[in-house]
Amino acid sequence: MNEDLPGYTILNRSFGGSTLKDQVRYRYDVMFPYQPKQIVLYCGENDLAESDTVTADMVVTRFTTLFGLMRSKYPDVPFVFVSIKPSPSREHLLPKVIDANAKIKAWLADKKKTVFVDVFHAMLNADGTIMQDIFLADRLHMNAKGYAIWIRLLKPHLLK
């Protein structure tokens, strides 16, 4: 991120494979010790992938719980949520991803100092299929071309 966004001070607190439940559980370790000027969150995809029993509504509930905890600690800190992305290796989850994204976007709509950044649609071809050339061979993690899409969409919302 620091290479992709020169001029921005970024403290990456993400950890591989994390879910919204993990973010809630480890908030005192990964989030609360800091005094951020802005919070940018990408999370939810691993929640959907962890079990077939996880629904979009469960992801939304987990997100709203985390958001409430963040707002209780950081009531005035601007918040950016990056939509759940479409991953070729998890194409079977697309209906749940679309549903969760729509519900989170709607829920955030009236919240102050919040932005929903839709990377989902920017990662689709004109015919609605997932772009394949923006992912690594695992078809889950993005390559530089995929991250360039995110940077283009995020940059207007980031504080310097």
State mean pLDDT over 129-136: 98
Instruction: Tell me which of 4-18, 64-78, 90-104, 133-147 is least confident.
Output: 4-18
Instruction: Please write the tens of the pLDDT for every residue from 143-160.
Output: 999 999 999 999 999 998
- The architecture that CATH gives domain 20-157 is 3-Layer(aba) Sandwich (3.40)
Closest CA to 42 of 74, 73, 10: 10
Residue 91's nearest CA partner among 135, 143, 61 is 135
User: For 96-121, how does the pLDDT look when each residue is reduced to its tens digit (9 = 90+)?
Assistant: 999 999 999 999 999 999 999 999 99
pLDDT band at 87 (very low <50, low <70, confident <90, very high): very high
Residue 160: per-residue pLDDT: 84
Helix (H, G, I), strand (E, B) or coil at 124: strand
When pLDDT is averaged across residues 84-93 and rounded to a whole number, the result is 98
In the chain the first and final C-alpha atoms are separated, in Å, by 14
